[in-house]
Chains A and B, each alone.
Chain A
């Protein structure tokens, strides 16, 4: 009887905790001495810490990660980081490290990462490490929630947009070849399956968060077959969600409307390259790359990072980077892990510091360093 109730509570706890380390709980024998077993995978005991993969990346990544660690320590968050240092531009580029990273994320299910920089020189490999990571883990959806920060006014205030971008195909297929000397062809691949998947993700997200409109961004007047297929898939999925309004807009018009009247948009869904452009544009509208968090989802894993991905190499060591984006992203990660209390604590602290306006990093118009910001947050 006690075993049955324990099993029920274990199952329900498992169901709420997403992540691959809770696979198939009903098949595992549940014994009363579960907590006494040494867990090679973390057991379902709620007081254990969660394991999260951390990839500091390049540029100011390590500094931002340090900020995250300090804040977590101050807030007493039960998360343990497994650090993996990987970089394509420094001497740490190697296939084993990449494999190590994959296994780590597969085990933990959740990761927080900085930007892994792409080397400018063509070294014989067309896909960067980040792209390989995305493809291997099938992180097909990138969600950037752009909101205006209270207390920091830009040319457009009170903005609230969600940008959903397909991350594995499109223009970033890394399929390039030189057919004739001096002529290079780069292939952009659009498949119905992936377009359908991202459209469904977008509508599901909109339903879950109570959004009213989804706009598909495309260039189907020029790329009739490619973006036409994307648009068609989105329209097909839209039929399944009659409560959500579906519109479409051409990418150049979209950019123009974003700078003139961004309030007309709610959720935007688009293929890869346009997503990159619009992510950065929208980030610029609310204050730059330092304030927008982003996350990437696959069916099984979630990776949290900044919205606009720039390594910001000019700021390394100078202690001027703005950790807001990374901290908000870490707060999102905590919410994903169902640590709502801690998540709210972190995000409220960030917003409070920005609203007060006393301690601000350079990109928001202040003069403080990253450390000052983190320190004041800890309070």
Chain B
């Protein structure tokens, strides 16, 4: 059992805690060796989809993981009630299997329908976005010793999508903070910290300016911290966190925050380790739903040319395998990926090499097979 390690990818996103009832970090009770086939999704997407499908068929074949892929498109359609929603087949499929893997989705600025990511979040109530950031050996950035996790509340806050034009030239956006959501995310953060042997949780807020809303968030975090005395709880202003993060990222461990700050900080941390092309991410929802995704954009300029870097999606898939309990496979794929990057022989363009996406994937598959 490969537990007791400090690298966030090598830890469980979730560990079975059968004796705790309302644990939000639920897990899916799949056995790796059973003949039950696990069904996943690959959310089909306009641009980078081709590469990703190729990559995944390659690697699931090579690892012989008991996974069956089901592809579903999530382009928004207008439902019978007139509201925009994701296609019903996608929703049913997801409700059945509960685990998903998503490629990049593009939100055009003037599309007429709300962001598709937002729709997914609302449909499956994906309340927590977890992004572990750890420096990758072999991919040099000015920051070598990053090892932190950002947990971001994903359903409300500034991204509630409620905006009005009051008079011509004055726009009001509403930021919503509720007790229930704040409590839920705080509990998730502490559960995660406990399950993954993390030492401290820091709440990031701006309660000196937004006294009522962030004040509520902070109060809830403090209340939840009372129940988790084994984990250190600190709170820090957003601007202080930004200031200290770029000077010394080692002082942070797990960060929990509302939506907007989380968006910015998680991208900041991704930038510290090398960008969105190498950062995995997971979205946890109520009812045991979990969707893992690569957070980079759709990169329309390199789509279809076999130049994409699949590391982010690959590491997200590794997170997914751990979530499902398939630790052996996860470890193999992860080690293969890191070894490939460390060796620097076969690397895609953004990592500093010249190879194509398929060559990179083949190299990883070869290493995985060699390990067997």
Q: Interface of A with B (CB < 8 Å)?
A: 118-120, 122, 126, 128, 131, 154-156, 171-172, 174, 176-178, 182-193, 219-226, 228-229, 251-253, 255-260, 273-274, 276-277, 279-281, 283-285, 287-289, 308-310
Contacts and interface: CB of A to CB of B under 8 A. Distances in A.
A281 B109 contact: no
Given A183-B178, A284-B243, A308-B239, A259 B173 contact: no
Nearest to B218: A120
Interface of B: 107, 109-110, 115, 118, 141-143, 158-159, 161, 163-165, 168-180, 206-213, 215-216, 238-240, 242-247, 260, 263-268, 270-272, 275-276
A219 B268 CA distance: 15
* Chain A CB within 10 Å, residue with most, of B143, B242, B267, B275: B242
A182 B243 contact: no
B208 A187 contact: no
A350 B74 CA distance: 58
Given A225-B171, A226-B163, A184 B242 contact: no
B143 A187 contact: no
A255 B171 contact: no
A288 B243 contact: yes
A189 B271 contact: no
B178 A280 contact: no
Contacts of B143: 155, 259
B208 A223 contact: no
A280 B208 contact: no
A256 B267 contact: yes
Contacts of B168: 192
B174 A256 contact: no
A176 B210 contact: yes
A183 B170 CA distance: 24
B242 A187 contact: no
Given A226-B173, A252-B263, A256-B267, A182 B142 contact: no
B174 A187 contact: yes
A279 B239 contact: yes
A283 B243 contact: yes
B41 to A, nearest CB: 24
9 contacts: A120-B207, A155-B142, A155-B143, A185-B174, A186-B210, A186-B213, A190-B172, A219-B260, A252-B266
Given A118-B209, A225-B171, 6 more contacts: A176-B213, A190-B171, A221-B115, A224-B110, A252-B267, A281-B245
* Chain B CB within 10 Å, residue with most, of A154, A171, A191, A222: A222
Given A156-B142, A183-B176, A253-B267, A222 B159 contact: yes
A172 B170 CA distance: 15
Contact of A229 (B171, B179, B211, B263): B171
Q: Can you list the 7 inter-chain pairs with the closest CB atoms, starting with the nearest?
A: A256-B271, A252-B267, A192-B169, A284-B246, A182-B179, A118-B208, A155-B142
Contacts of A260: 141, 271, 275
Given A182-B179, A256-B276, A122 B239 contact: no
Nearest to A176: B212
Contacts of B216: 184
Contacts of A222: 107, 115, 118, 158-159, 161
Contacts of B142: 155-156, 259
Contact of A281 (B180, B206, B268): B268
A182 B178 contact: yes
Contacts of B267: 252-253, 255-256
B176 A191 contact: no
A122 B215 contact: yes
Contact of B264 (A154, A171, A185, A277): A277
Nearest to B117: A222
Contacts of B178: 182-184
A177 B215 CA distance: 12
Given A225-B163, A226-B163, A255-B264, A280 B240 contact: yes
* Chain A CB within 10 Å, residue with most, of B118, B179, B216: B216
Nearest to A282: B246
B299 to A, nearest CB: 13
Contacts of A193: 169
A281 to B, nearest CB: 5
Contacts of B109: 220-221, 224, 228
A295 B164 CA distance: 33
Contacts of B265: 255
A288 B263 CA distance: 23
Given A122-B212, A252-B263, A257 B271 contact: yes
A335 to B, nearest CB: 26
A174 B214 CA distance: 12
